[in-house]
C-alpha cells in the first residue's frame, strides 16, 4: 500500500478522496482524556497550526497556514460526548 501511494500524484489522491469520502452525515469516534477540549477547538473554529518535529519546505508550511485557517463549520449541537462505558452498550 505504501509503495503504491508513493506513486500517486496529488491529483490522484484528491480524485480518490472525492470518490470515496464524504463529509455528509459523517460520524467519527475518538477516545481522549479531554473530550470537551477536543470538541471545543473545531467548534470554535480557532486557528490550529500544524507542528512538525523536523524542518519542512516553505511551500508545505505555506499550504499548512491556508489549511489551518479554514473554518470547519462544526456546530456544538452536532457533537456528542459519550462516556466510554456507554459506547459499547448501544
Structure confidence at residue 56 (pLDDT): 92
72 Cα distance to chain centroid: 10
User: What's the pLDDT tens digit per position in 23-82?
Assistant: 777 788 888 999 999 899 889 988 888 889 999 999 999 999 998 888 888 889 989 999
Tell me the pLDDT band of 90, cut-offs 50, 70 and 90: low
Q: Kindly give the residue spans of alpha helices, DSSP state H, lying in the chain.
A: 2-6, 10-20, 35-43, 58-68, 84-87
User: What's the pLDDT tens digit per position in 16-30?
Assistant: 888 988 877 778 888
Task: State how far the Cα of 57 lies from the Cα of 7, in Å rounded to an integer.
Answer: 20
Is the model's pLDDT at 83 over the cut of 80? yes
Amino acid at each position: 500500500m505504501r509503495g503504491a501511494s508513493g506513486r500517486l500524484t496529488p491529483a490522484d489522491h484528491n480524485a480518490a478522496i472525492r470518490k470515496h469520502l464524504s463529509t455528509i452525515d459523517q460520524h467519527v469516534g475518538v477516545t481522549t482524556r479531554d473530550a470537551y477540549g477536543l470538541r471545543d477547538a473545531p467548534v470554535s473554529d480557532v486557528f490550529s497550526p500544524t507542528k512538525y518535529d523536523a524542518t519542512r519546505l516553505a511551500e508545505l508550511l505555506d499550504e499548512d497556514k491556508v489549511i489551518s485557517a479554514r473554518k470547519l463549520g462544526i456546530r456544538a449541537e452536532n457533537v456528542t460526548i459519550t462516556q466510554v462505558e456507554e459506547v459499547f452498550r448501544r
